Amino acid sequence: MERKVYVNGKLFPESEAKISVFDHGFLYGDGVFEGIRAYNGLIFRLTEHLNRLYESAHTILLKIPMTRKQLEQSIVKTLQANRQKDAYIRLVVSRGVGDLGLDPNKCKVATVVIITNSITLYPEKLYVDGLKIITVPTVRNIPEALNPQLKTLNYLNNILAKIEAKNSGFAEALMLNHQGYVAECTGDNIFMVKKGTVITPPVYVGALPGITRGAIIDIIQEPDLVETASLPKKFEERLLTRHDLYNAGEVFLTGTAAEVIPVVEIDGRTIGEGKPGPVTRQLIKGFHELTRKDGVRYAM
């Protein structure tokens, strides 16, 4: 069965799903998006994803032509049409069709696209053995240019960093901000564990306020959220340098597609004992538990 794609209120076979070449999302990367996961018929933290989508759209003065409830129903409709209980959902809202100029006011109605598919960011072996990453020269966008807290269709900053990592033989890149502080990776937030404290950079240094990032923070700060035991009770958001990461006991990444993945080497420096640590393993377990109960349930 050919996969169905939602475009502006209708479901189309994948081969027939199209947008205009004059859409400013295509021409200029003018739009916002969310990557969302469904686990066994539950859309994980959908409310948080939609809140972030609408906040990003509001900041760039993009009017989404649907309510949150309508978007939620459309996501469910697309999942049901594709008979998917487990899926990666890409929700895209672009500025819409305009002319070849930059003026967003020439785009009368935003374009809404929903794609449901599967995604595998890293091989299973890396979740067991750990990931090796490298710092790249491309720095994170500064807030005064394109605020990294916005999840927009303009992802070239991240793509350039990913290219640099791949050219050096690494699957993922660590990005610093213009002041040299740790920001995030190309598609994931970064955490470290040191002396019983879990630490991550604050979003103002150039990190996206990730939904999985928030879930991990909740697991640490709310003891009754999951049944996982032996987790640190201390959490901090603070400025981090590469020196801090190099000397951490554990490092891990979080993201919707990646979920929680351990990092065992950065720039040739072994992290901790060079293998996934106990806190990371417990957080992976806790996150998987949370995905089974935190979100919007839908019927097939």
Active site residues: 151
Give dist(CA 275, CA 199) in Å, integer: 19
The kind and range of the H/E element at 53 are: helix 46-59
Question: Which residues 6+ apart lie within 8 Å of 281 measured at CB?
Answer: 262
Select from 238, 246, 230 the least CA-distant residue to 286: 230
Question: Which residues 6+ apart lie within 8 Å of 162 measured at CB?
Answer: 172, 173, 186, 187
Taking a C-beta distance cutoff of 8 angstroms, is the pair 45, 255 a contact?
A: no
Taking a C-beta distance cutoff of 8 angstroms, is the pair 246, 271 a contact?
A: yes
3-state secondary structure of 281: helix
Give dist(CA 190, CA 207) in Å, integer: 9
Give dist(CA 43, CA 118) in Å, integer: 14
3-state secondary structure of 36: strand
Relative orientation angle of helices 278-290 and 211-221, to the nearest 10 degrees: 110
Give dist(CA 150, CA 161) in Å, integer: 18
